[in-house]
Structures are given as C-alpha cells and as structure tokens.
Amino acid sequence: MDNRITIIPKPISVETGNKIINIRTKSVSICINTDSKADLYKTAATAFGVAGIKTSDKGISVFIELQPQDKKQEINEGYNLTLSDEEIRIKAESLNGIFYGCISAAQLISRADNELPELNITDQPIHSWRGFLLDTSRSFYSTAFIKKMLDACALHKLNIFHWHLTDDQGWRFEVPGYPRLTEIGSKRQDYTMPASEDGFYDEEKLIRRWYTDEEIKEIIRYAQERCIQIIPEVEFPGHSSALLAAYPEYGCTGGPYQVENRWGIFPDVLCLGNDNIFTIYEAALKKITELFPSDYIHIGGDECPHERWEICPKCQARMKTEGLDSAAQLQAWGTTKIASMVAKLGKVPIGWDEVLDNNKHNKLPDNVIVQSWRGTEGGIKAASLNHKVIMSPTQRFYLNLKNKDSFEEPGRLGVTTTKKTYTFSPAGKELKLENPEQRKLILGGECTLWTEKLPHSRNAEYLLFPRFCAAAETLWLPEEKKDFEDFKQRLEYHKKLLHQLDYRYYEGELE
C-alpha cells in the first residue's frame, strides 16, 4: 500500500499511524452532532461534491463538530481531521474550517486505493487572502465556466475570487440610468477570432455579452456556499474604451471611440476634468454595492496614459484648480475621489500598485489596499507606508504567461513555470522589508488569468493548471514548509483528480 498523503495544498501537520483503515466506498455519510445542522450539512456536502465525492447512507461516516469561536477574532480557517476505525472526524471553529477539512477528506478518499493509514491532520493557512483573478472583459465566459472556476478555487482552498468586470474590450454588468454601457460597451467587432459554429464567439452576431443581475447573484450564492468572497473590479481611470464607446462625452476628445478589439494600452482614458465621470461611477459603484456583499471593491488604476490630459483644456483647468504640477498627478487626485466614494458606500477600496504613484499633492488614503503586480516593489513600498498588501507579481503569479518557452505553447508576455510560481511566497524572505512588522500587512496574494487571446475556456484551463495548484499551496503553507520535489510527487496523483473532474491541464516541464 502507498501511504503517501497527496492533499493539495499540503496540510501543515500530518501524523500517520500503523493501523490500516479499509475504504470500501467512494461516498460519505455526514453526521452532525451540533447546532446549525442544516448549514453544517450543506457546507460539508458541498465540499465533498466539489471533489466528486457523493453523500450516501452507506458511505464512510464523517462526523462534523463546529466548535465555538471568539467572535472578536478573525475567522479561524483551521481544522483538525482524524481517520480511525473506518470513520473520519472533522473539528473546526468556523464553517470555512469545516469546509476545508471536508475538502482534505474528499481528496484523501478520492486518492485511496481501498485503504488508508490511520492519521491525524492539523491544518491552518498562513495567509488570510488566497485569491484568483479571472478577467471576463477580454474574453467573455459563461456563468457555467465561472462556477467551474469557483469549484477549482474551493478544491484548492482559495477564498477570494477577483472578478475583472470592465476594461477596454468590454463592460460586463448593467448600471441603472446608463443602458449603453452594456448595449454598446459589451460588444466589439473582433476580426482576430475565427467564427465558431454556434456563434458564441462570432463578434458580429448580436449575442448578449454581459452578466445580468440574476446571473451575478447566482454566482455570488454559489461562491458563498464554497466559502469564497467575490471581489468585483471596475477600472478607473484607464482601460476605459468600452465606457467611452458607450458615452463618448466622458473622454477628453469627445471621440468617436470604439470597444477595443486589440490588446494593449490606449491613450483615450476618462477625462478627469469632467465632473460627470464621478456621476456615472457613483451609479456603477452603487450598483456593485447592491449586488456584491463583499467588503471590498477593486478600483483598478493600472496602465493609465496621461497624454490626453496634457492637452485637454478641462484637465488643464482641473490641474490649475487643484494646484497640481503635472498631468500625471491627476490620477492620484481622481483615485482619492473614487476611494472616498467607495468608503462612503461602506466598502474598502483596492487598487493596482500605480495608485502609489505621483501622489505628491494627494496622498493615497490609508484604507486603500495595494495589489502589487509590477513585481514586488509596489507591495514593499505600500507596506512601508502602512497599507495592506496583496501580492500578484507578474513573473510569478500571472498564469496567462506561457508554461514554457516554446512558440507551440499558448500564452503571452513571457514564461512562468510551475516551480517559479511555487517558490514565490507573498511575505517570504526574498522581500527586502526594512521593518519585520511590515510583513504582517501582506494579506496574501492572487494568481491571475488575463484573457487576451483566450476565447475558449478549455484553453484557459490548460494555462491555469497545474500552476493554479502551485499558487494555492504557496498561499496556504508557511515558506519553511514548502517542498517543490514533494509537491511534484503529490501533483501526479492530483492530476488524476483534475482529470476526473474534467479540468484540462498542461503536462509538460514544470521547471
């Protein structure tokens, strides 16, 4: 018998005994001995279902115990799992902990070849922010695929789904009073894609390419059942071609503009001399707040050219009124206003690391969380200024890059191997922080999938896995507990589970 425990992400502590437990079935019988039985049962059943394990009266007995937790503390996502006498016992202080304990049990049962060693697992994540970003602006994906990715997050104990909803290539949610955002801003003439038989990706056909309120609410419910918080992102002030195509009066030149069918960075951005842009963003942010129960709203802020502001009379007048030295400083001024709007709605703003730039006259509000993507430098700077940080460095956590350097491999903008993803730790030793206390401001990280040239979700899966698995483990484990050689061995078993669950994955070199 192979006693190897192949759970991904790897638990903090695994103790195995000499006794062998017979596993005669791949189903479980869930037993609840505490209050809130309905919620606990649903949480446990959902977790087992994510890994393809069904519930049955004749299945392996799984006893669930939710222990009381001090409500003043942050959610404890840890759990304890024991396997003995042909039964599994899971204890935790939160529903999240129960969920992750069941995920681990499900992976064990899926891997079991009729028997497992007696064992005791004690486990808890090192990072509270373990995320995945999916861009649905460059490529519009079905709600079914989004749910599939939420299942993937749940299977790997990720608790954040960052939903990129607006960009140059599409606006993906409805805003009351601004119907053209979706009627015009969601569609583009895209001659870079081949027509598909069903027409879904044939951009010349009038097919809805935004998410309705009911679809968004259903996805949020689905995520909540899997202990996942969805963070919506609305770009400001760059990456705004879709908005400008719908409402050209919000640009510096007045247009005409188009929903971009190209990839890149474009000079036409929101006119920060026009007060009405804050009116439309107020409506958009209010709608986001009504739809998403999340504590956070991502306001973008990346890759915003300033060249239009340098010659726009309205922007020049704004600079003079606000006492700004350069057009670049307009972005910091606008970011301050948008962050204030988010805060008034009871949410915490998050911005890409450019929000730290050019803020001589407009200090970044203290409550803004900085997501560092241009390497780790933005995160280090943000932490030194006492901002909370999410790490997403391009060369380590961007899964749209190629798996290996070959023209035959999909992906773009570089190469990131599975090992390169695995060996990055968001608050690890490689970060040169002046004050050790600053590491505590690093909440964790997000792996990301930007979807230029990825119209088909099956190809997206190929780029994601197994680097997605590596990112999940590096966000769960302390740096000193990580072992890439051990991860590679467990991954060989884990890929069989991915195959059973119908995820496509890359099978080539990992380093």
- Which residues are catalytically annotated? 303
* DSSP designation for 268: -
Q: For residue 204, how many other CB atoms are within 10 A of its CB?
A: 11
Closest CA relative to residue 270, chosen from 250, 247, 299: 250
CB neighbourhood size of 467 (10 A): 27
- DSSP label of 480: G
Contact 208, 200 (CB under 8 A): no
What does the DSSP 8-state code read for residue 186? Answer: T
Residue type, 309: W
* Residues 6+ away with beta carbon under 8 Å from 480: none
* DSSP secondary structure letters along 192-253: TSPPPTTSTT-TTS----SB-HHHHHHHHHHHHTTT-EEEEE---SSS-HHHHHH-GGGBSS
Calpha distance 254→237 (Å, rounded): 16
CA torsion, points 318, 323, 328, 334, in degrees to nearest 10? -60
